[in-house]
Amino acid sequence: MTTFAADTVTVFSRELRPVLRNPASIVFSMVQPLFFLALFAPLLPDTPDGSSALQWFVPGIVVMSCLFGTSMTGSNLLFEMQTGSHERMLVTPLRRPALLVGRALKEIVPMFAQAALIVAVCVPFGFEVHLGGALLGLAVLAAFCVGLGALSYTLALASKNQEWLFWTVQQTLLFPLLLLAGMLLPVEGGPGWLQTAARFNPLTYVVDAERALFNGEVAAATTVTGALAAVAVGALGLAVGVRAMRRSA
């Protein structure tokens, strides 16, 4: 019989294959973040220290693009549950946890591709890349992304045949999370309650860390907090997701 690692690789490669067969699909889920980049960023004033607003805004858009794409990923599973192909996977000897972990890990690939694309688009407009920091930032984001993907799959498993339930929950959570993380506008200037709410949003710490890392501030305290928040989301997502997958029938 196979090992857990081999099972995970099998599931991971299966999930990745349609993406590799049709790489353009990576761009579809980032249409909205790209609009924000094109139509929102030009409205932002330059930062007080004189650097381009892009240095502040682009890392947020990288997280946003991960958030949009990854939070929707459960819909693929939902569809497979409806057609019967999830059942097909459940009847193979693949370990239940591998069915979840392999899928969640695959989310890292489109996330990396989208980040690269966003950065490449912004460089001509004066965005400065600090390669080491950016790569570290993506490593942190990867942990978050795996957790979010796992939660999205959990939502799909919980929604069963009610597609509306999946989309309602996903859409309802998406924008508050995004705005409260200060992704589009800084939260610091907002009222006290809003700042408090932002403090309970793990995404806030991830976004702050991405901003620091993309600007080359590797040794900052925000980096550590952000990495911890991302790993916590990753661990929580996987734990919840594995539990849901074990109960799937």
Partner 1 sequence: MIETHELTRHFKDVRAVDGIDLRVAEGELVALLGPNGAGKSTTLRMLTTLIPPTSGTARVAGFDVTRQQRQVRQHIGYIGQGNGAAHSQRGRDELISQGRAYGLTVRAARARAAELIDSLGLGEVADRTVSTLSGGQRRRLDIAMGLIHAPRLLFLDEPSTGLDPQNRANLQEHIVALRREHGTTILLTTHYLDEADSLAERVIVVDHGRIVADDTPDRLKAVHAGDRVVLTLATGADADRAAALSARVPAATVTRGGRTLHIAVPGAPALVPGLLADLRADGVTVAAVEVSRPTLDDVFLNLTGRSLREGAPVAADLDLVGA
**How many CB atoms sit inside 10 A of residue 13's CB?**
12
Burial class (CB in 10 A: 0-12, 13-18, 19+), 228: middle
Using rule CB under 8 A, residue 93 touches partner 1: yes
Using rule CB under 8 A, residue 89 touches partner 1: yes
How is residue 209 written in tokens?
Answer: 């860390």
The Cβ-side half-sphere exposure at 178, using a 13 Å CA radius, reads: 21
Using rule CB under 8 A, residue 52 touches partner 1: no
DSSP H/E element including 224: helix 221-247
Stretch that binds partner 1, among 13-21, 167-175, 191-199, 202-210 (CB under 8 A): 13-21
Using rule CB under 8 A, residue 179 touches partner 1: no
Q: Segment 58-77, which members bind partner 1 (CB under 8 A)?
A: 76
Using rule CB under 8 A, residue 90 touches partner 1: yes
As measured in angstroms, the least distance from the Cβ of 184 to partner 1 is 32
Stretch that binds partner 1, among 92-100, 121-129, 150-158, 202-210 (CB under 8 A): 92-100
Stretch that binds partner 1, among 2-10, 180-188, 190-198, 213-221 (CB under 8 A): 2-10
- Residue pointed to by tokens 């989301």: 233
Of 136, 133, 153, 120, nearest to 15 by C-alpha is 153
Using rule CB under 8 A, residue 5 touches partner 1: no
Using rule CB under 8 A, residue 172 touches partner 1: no
Using rule CB under 8 A, residue 51 touches partner 1: no
Q: Which is nearer to partner 1, 18 or 132 (CB)?
A: 18
Q: Which of 51, 83, 168, 171 binds partner 1 (CB under 8 A)?
A: 83
CB under 8 Å to 209, separation ≥6 — which residues? 137, 140, 222, 223, 225, 226, 227, 229, 230
d(CA 230, CA 226): 6
Would you call 107 helix, strand, or coil by DSSP?
coil
For residues 119 and 58, is the Cβ–Cβ distance under 8 A?
A: yes
d(CA 247, CA 143): 24
Classify each residue of 130-140 as buried b or exposed e, where b means 16 or more C-beta atoms within 10 Å of its C-beta: beebbebbbeb
Q: Which is nearer to partner 1, 2 or 222 (CB)?
A: 2
Using rule CB under 8 A, residue 92 touches partner 1: yes
Number of residues that bind partner 1 (CB under 8 A): 27
Using rule CB under 8 A, residue 17 touches partner 1: yes
Using rule CB under 8 A, residue 129 touches partner 1: no
CB under 8 Å to 80, separation ≥6 — which residues? 86, 89
Binding residues for partner 1, rule: CB under 8 A, are 1-2, 6-7, 10, 13-14, 17-18, 21, 76, 79-80, 82-85, 87-95, 249
